[in-house]
Structure 1
């Protein structure tokens, strides 16, 4: 499971010209699944995202989490995060999880996150337009295989 986390002033997703998910201050997360990802990654990644201290406190230090600021979360499925660009000029998607399995994992991930924080989403498999007003910019890339090999970091 790979995610790209962006701290935003606002974000939204449109499908066929219609807004399907919209947030104000919070985090937009692009979410991709790879073959071999396991269900335990979902809980751990959700916990990591909502508690990651990437918002500034009164002293200007990144000390506050999404939960602390009562922010919102916009989850956007993005299979291209699993692309392998090491060889040639065309990305390979052989390590991307099967779409049906990935959709189930994304839906479960959304459910887990909603237990902790307000969540909006894009639509799995749809051609989406993602609008992000990045705050900073502050962007992080997390890979569950690096983070959770020996347990929750």
Structure 2
């Protein structure tokens, strides 16, 4: 799994013009773009959720767990794009939806179980994501 994390002051995701997930933190929150590959499993999803929850990238080196910062989770298979050859990316490293969708949900559920306020996008949908990146701070999480 790859989680591209952005520290935000606001973020929302819409499908067909309708907002399906949104965070407006008092201060800062996190947008987590989640990519899944073929070798990922539920244990890795839970470990990455814990890593994100404890990651000290908010002001004063605090984590989302310290500040109860909200988290918007959006599936993003394009994090596994292969651009080594030519000009057209390939997506062979991205897990198919039947594998990826439950793992993205496991990631979001693990965050919720730890106490996070989680909003999500819609898996597999054509989503429009808006955010105000704070800092900017963008970090790639992998195990």
TM-score (normalizing by structure 1): 0.88
Whether contact under 8 Å (2:46, 2:106) holds in the other structure is no
Q: Is there any run of 5+ residues in structure 1 with no aligned partner, and where?
A: 58-62, 148-153
- Structure whose alpha-carbon radius of gyration is higher: 1
User: 1: distance between equivalents of 2:106 and 2:134?
Assistant: 28
State how far apart, in whole Å, the 1-side matches of 2:16 and 2:37 are: 27
Deviations 1:21-59 (A, max 9, x none): 0002300010000111122111110000011001112xx
1:53 and 2:52 correspond: no
Q: Can you give the 5+ residue segments of structure 2 that lack an aligned partner in the other structure?
A: none
Give the TM-score, by structure 2 length. Answer: 0.94
Question: Segments of 4+ in structure 1 off by > 6 A?
Answer: none
RMSD of equivalent CA atoms: 0.9
1:6 CA drift (Å): 0.2
Name the residue aligned to 2:127: 128
Equivalent pairs, count: 139
How far apart are the structure 2 equivalents of 1:38 and 1:76? 18
Q: Counterparts of 2:10 and 2:112 in 1: how far apart (Å)? A: 18
